[in-house]
Amino acid sequence: MDFIQESDQHNRRMDSVVEAFWEGLLVAAQHAVESHNQRETVYIASFVPPQYKDTMHVIRDWKGRSGTFDTRTSVIILLDRAKRSISARYQDNEREVLDFVWDADKKQAYLLNGQQQLGLEAASEFFLRRVLLPA
């Protein structure tokens, strides 16, 4: 196999891994929202079903008093397949972008946050902690 074929094979494999990671992140986010709502008595969180492919939206607000932006926290999370990254935009317009990278053995892909490799659960917490558990 020449380097062009190896590169193509690598790209197809990474695309597959990114797809699986994204699907897992959707499930992990839904689970985090459900878990939050089982334990929280003052606030309620909502996982908004994706309107567009490769997006998710999570909102947290006061129970019974939703609709006021002063009490709401939210995040829109987007998968960028071309860049192989996931980005988040929060209610205050702050953004986070994490890129996919391979581990040293090129067997597992992670999202990279600085020098820290994030798997599914850690990535879900990274993107949602600020919304579900604001300081």
3-state secondary structure 12-60: HHHHHHHHHHHHHHHHHHHHHHHHHHHHCCCEEEEEECCCCCCEEEEEE
Structural tokens at position 50: 């994706």
> Does position 82 have pLDDT exceeding 90, yes or no?
yes
Evaluate if pTM is beyond 0.75.
yes
pLDDT of residue 68: 58
Angle between the N-to-C axes of helices 3-39 and 120-132, in degrees from 0 to 180, rounded to the nearest 10 = 40
Structural tokens at position 126: 């990274």
pLDDT of residue 23: 94
Higher pLDDT, 84 or 7: 84
3-state class (DSSP) for residue 126: helix
Burial per residue of 108-129, b for 16 or more beta-carbon CB atoms within 10 angstroms, e otherwise:
ebbbeeeeebbebeebbebbbe
CB neighbours of 9 closer than 8 A, spacing ≥ 6? 1
pLDDT tens digits, 22-68: 999 999 999 999 999 999 888 889 998 888 889 999 999 887 765 55
The CATH T-level fold of domain 3-132 is: Metal Transport, Frataxin; Chain A (3.30.920)
Higher pLDDT, 64 or 117: 117
